[in-house]
Homo-oligomer: A and B are copies of this chain.
Amino acid sequence: MTNNKLLSDFKDALRKEGLKITPQRIAVLEEIIKNKGHRESEDVYMAIKTRKTHVSRATVYRTLDILVQNGFARKLNLGDGRARYEPKIDSPHHDHMICNNCGKIIEFVNHEIEKIQEEIAKHHQFKLQQHIHQLFGICKECQ
């Protein structure tokens, strides 16, 4: 998926929701899909501010919410009090391994776990909507 396609998808989504297409919203989308991954709101705010578009922290938070709500981004809670945002497009579902020493984030995918999860939910007649699966420890480089 090209960035142009993404951009127009985002504009479509905004229209569909009755939201306006503003330079700030476009800038947040562009910053997020740069695919540096796992960005903090403050990060995104600073990057946009430094580069070109005038934006406020409030608008960054608001736009990140829109991105999450419309499936363009995923919001991660790594337990340190600061949310992270990653682009959701083109990236298959994955979970995260976080280094307790250097903070590095490694993505992992495991279909077996996904399957077992679903079985567990089913067994409890629980309608599974999302999940968080994070492994914390010390990465290869930090040992």
A contact residues vs B (CB 8 Å cutoff)? 77, 79, 97, 99-100, 106, 108, 110, 112-113, 116-117, 120-121, 124-140, 143
Contacts and interface: CB of A to CB of B under 8 A. Distances in A.
B117 A116 contact: no
A132 B76 CA distance: 13
Contact of A140 (B77, B97, B126, B128): B126
Given A108-B124, A120-B108, A138-B126, A131 B133 contact: yes
Nearest to A140: B125
15 contacts: A77-B77, A79-B132, A97-B120, A97-B124, A106-B126, A110-B120, A113-B117, A120-B135, A124-B140, A126-B135, A129-B136, A129-B137, A131-B134, A132-B132, A132-B136
Given A113-B113, A113-B116, A131 B121 contact: no
Number of copies: 2
Contacts of A77: 77, 79
Contact of A112 (B116, B129, B143): B116
A124 B105 CA distance: 12
A109 B143 CA distance: 30
Given A112-B116, A131-B134, A132-B134, 14 more contacts: A77-B77, A97-B126, A113-B116, A120-B135, A121-B135, A125-B143, A126-B135, A126-B138, A127-B143, A129-B137, A129-B138, A130-B137, A131-B133, A132-B136
